[in-house]
Structure 1
Amino acid sequence: MAVATKPQKSTRSSEKTDALVWLYSVLLTLQYGAQPLISKRFTRREVIVTSFVLMCEIVKVVCALNLMAKDGGLKKVYKDWTLVGALTASGLPAVIYALQNILLQISYKNLDSLTFSILNQTKILFTAFFTYVILRHKQSIQQIGALFLLIVAAVLLSIGEGSSKGSSSGNADQKLFYGIIPILVASVLSGLASALCQWASQVKKHSSYLMTVEMSFVGSMCLLLVTSKSPDGEAIRQHGFFYGWTPLTLVPVILNALGGILVGLVTSHAGGVRKGFVIVSALLVTAVLQFIFEGKPPSLYCLLALPLVVCSISIHQKYPYQVKKKES
């Protein structure tokens, strides 16, 4: 009787984990999809970008610490936390993400929105690649096909977004060295950082909440170093940290912080590849919300991408890689 009970407990635990993963994924999709519209509506143009980002990190840390306190994680952190462990698990990914954001800003200024959006989707493939290299998580043939379906859907959505915006013209060498190369390097770094976060949470058993706190701290330190000699730093010194803020500005700040915590939970429980599906699905959510609140109908490309996203998610979930006897 005892032998028969264990598989039932294991099955129930697995089902509970799957349910949590889907809940986190759906919430993250809604957050990603709603964030652009909410930020646009509640954030004035005068708000200094660096102050907004730093405030997001502060709120993220406060939320993560509260959640750790509720589940009893703070006591364990107090006993087991080490600087070396923190730098190994969270320091490197945080620095990589900071470098990635700088490269994205350089690329965004030198590419039209369509090219930028399309090339930015390659991070999904790099995430799958580094997940295999670092964690040896293989993808089945069907899952590889699902990833390419997702890339096609992302390209269609990018075309739909870029078709309504004028494409910039400029020097070909400048586009290559200051546009295309930076965003491709940023995509590689994004895939590497995502795989490292997954390794830290799944192999090193590093708490996703603790990683959120550590990465926010390291990322904020990097941002402060860059800001000290940037136009944003000068603007903060002249006008103050909260220049242009209103009470409503806290709405996108809190939403962004909650999204950061959800990213950690999704990566911890489901891996970085799932995050790629969330990001592309969120583009559809944004299109729907724009239609509901702004009366802007979804483009034909968006309607074509919808079934591709649904199919890719379904296939990737239904046909996981089966470990062969020799491999096991």
Structure 2
Amino acid sequence: MAASSQGPVNGVGEDKTSVRRQSEANRKLKYISLAVLVVQNASLILSIRYVRTLPGERFFTTSAVVMAEVLKVLTCLLIILLQKRGSLRAFIKLLYDSIFVQYLDTLKLAVPSLIYTLQNNLQYVAISNLPAATFQVTYQLKILTTALFSVLMLRKSLSRVQWVSLVLLFAGVAIVQVEQEGKQKETTVSSGSQNYAKGLVAVVVSCLSSGFAGVYFEKILKGSSASVWMRNVQLGIFGTFLGLLGLWWNDGPAIAEKGFLFGYTPMVWGVIFNQAFGGLLVAVVVKYADNILKGFATSFSIVVSTVTSVYLFGFHVDLLFTLGAGLVIGAVYMYSLPKAASPSSSSSSSSSSSTVSSSSSAHSRSHLSNSDADSETDAFLPKSVLVK
């Protein structure tokens, strides 16, 4: 009897040890996720601002958009091939079935792809004409536009805290714009190649397109069985084609004269690789990050962008900008809080439940990883593949 009673005790001890190890591993993954999200959010904006303000002849942004799409498609194709264990027959069959046989699903992606291509080009325009910190703060309006389109198109409901956070977000951006308006004349005099009004219009239109495209993307692909990598291949095909059209329309004669890769330096290649691979990396990493962590990462990246802009670009931080940026940072964090309440409560209840309930919880989590987690990643992915 003593030996038989000892078994469950040892089993409980082993369960506690495995749970402790799993929680430690999850904690490490969250910290890694935080670092990746912050670095990707801040570095892309700062690097684009840097390469677009260097003296001398600049690269064509339309060619950079196309190159990023091509690299993204090739990366996703490689991942799909690896998932098929290198079987070319299975790989080609999957591509043919997903792109051509299910052509209606592929065609549905033409609209968001067009918007994302426009958004990519607009963000180059915005960052070329706005200080990096100002762009980073103003671009958080995409949270407001995404929330509004979610309510209108998906009939989602927002909590009181979320509505308050959206009001604070708008107020913070407005304060930053009022503060920057006072510096507009000074900026125009010091750099005639930069147009603040043009950059502001570009970032506002980019926020509107980001909100609409993200919600539309979520709506048309609900219930779809395609993986996140296949969806990016479908998006990338349209994005490359539409990007080439924009390239021909806007810079065709100049590119024909100077070449597609004109002005490409190692720093420019770094920006393009960050655009192409950074978003895909974040899409994977975000599976290990809850909404609070994503909100904190976005807020922290604003601080990083602001501090770095002071040293790299001579950006001046005054009281109004600090107040506006503080409101935006707080609003971003507040908006993420309600979304994280449900997962935390469910995880705490599962940890205090019995072995049977924990196994059913594990089953539900594995189901969520194939459905809800993928839909969360897909909704986040269009924003992360582009500039955040």
Normalised-by-shorter TM-score class = 0.5 to 0.7
1:225 to 1:15, Cα distance in 2 relative to 1, 3 A: farther
**Alignment TM-score, normalising by the size of structure 2:** 0.59
- Which residue does the alignment assign to 1:145? 164
Does structure 2 conserve the Cα–Cα contact (< 8 Å) formed by 1:139 and 1:321? no
Does structure 2 conserve the Cα–Cα contact (< 8 Å) formed by 1:86 and 1:214? yes
Question: What is the identity, as a one-letter code, of the residue corresponding to 1:246?
Answer: T
1:250 to 1:104, Cα distance in 2 relative to 1, 3 A: closer
- Which residue does the alignment assign to 2:107? 87
Paired with 2:330 and 2:199, the residues of 1 have a C-alpha distance of 32
- Which residue does the alignment assign to 1:27? 36
Q: CA RMSD in A?
A: 4.8
The partner residue of 1:195 within 215, 239, 243 is 215
| Residue 218 in structure 1 maps to residue 252 in structure 2 | no
Larger Rg: 2
Q: Figure out how many residues of one structure are paired with residues of the other and give that number.
A: 301
SS of the aligned residue for 1:319 comes to: helix
Question: What is the identity, as a one-letter code, of the residue corresponding to 1:192?
Answer: F
State the 1:217 CA deviation. 2.0
- Which residue does the alignment assign to 1:204? 224
SS of the aligned residue for 1:137 comes to: coil
Paired with 2:28 and 2:103, the residues of 1 have a C-alpha distance of 34
- Which residue does the alignment assign to 2:335? 316
SS of the aligned residue for 1:301 comes to: helix
- Which residue does the alignment assign to 1:171? none
* Higher RCO, Cα 8 Å, sep 6+: 1
**Alignment TM-score, normalising by the size of structure 1:** 0.68
Paired with 2:121 and 2:306, the residues of 1 have a C-alpha distance of 27
Does structure 1 conserve the Cα–Cα contact (< 8 Å) formed by 2:161 and 2:335? yes
1:158 to 1:65, Cα distance in 2 relative to 1, 3 A: farther
- The aligned runs of 1:1-328 (5 Å cut-off) are 27-42=36-51, 45-72=57-84, 75=91, 77-78=94-95, 80-81=97-98, 82-88=102-108, 90-99=109-118, 122-166=141-185, 187-199=207-219, 203-230=223-250, 232-261=251-280, 282-293=301-312, 296=315, 298-320=317-339
State the 1:237 CA deviation. 0.6
State the 1:195 CA deviation. 0.6
Paired with 2:130 and 2:267, the residues of 1 have a C-alpha distance of 31
- Which residue does the alignment assign to 1:6? none
Question: What is the identity, as a one-letter code, of the residue corresponding to 1:61?
Answer: V
State the 1:245 CA deviation. 1.9
Paired with 1:189 and 1:212, the residues of 2 have a C-alpha distance of 18
Q: Which has the larger displacement, 306-315 or 30-39?
A: 306-315
Question: What is the identity, as a one-letter code, of the residue corresponding to 1:30?
Answer: V
State the 1:157 CA deviation. 3.9
Unaligned runs of 5+ in 2: 1-7, 9-20, 189-197, 343-388
State the 1:299 CA deviation. 3.4
Question: What is the identity, as a one-letter code, of the residue corresponding to 2:103?
Answer: L
State the 1:158 CA deviation. 3.9
Question: What is the identity, as a one-letter code, of the residue corresponding to 1:155?
Answer: A
State the 1:142 CA deviation. 0.8
Paired with 2:337 and 2:228, the residues of 1 have a C-alpha distance of 26
Question: What is the identity, as a one-letter code, of the residue corresponding to 1:317?
Answer: S
Does structure 2 conserve the Cα–Cα contact (< 8 Å) formed by 1:31 and 1:255? yes
1:239 to 1:180, Cα distance in 2 relative to 1, 3 A: closer
Does structure 2 conserve the Cα–Cα contact (< 8 Å) formed by 1:284 and 1:302? no
State the 1:201 CA deviation. 5.6
Aligned-pair identity in percent equals: 25
Q: Which has the larger displacement, 249-258 or 154-163?
A: 154-163
Does structure 2 conserve the Cα–Cα contact (< 8 Å) formed by 1:263 and 1:275? no
State the 1:93 CA deviation. 0.7
SS of the aligned residue for 1:229 comes to: helix
1:310 to 1:103, Cα distance in 2 relative to 1, 3 A: closer
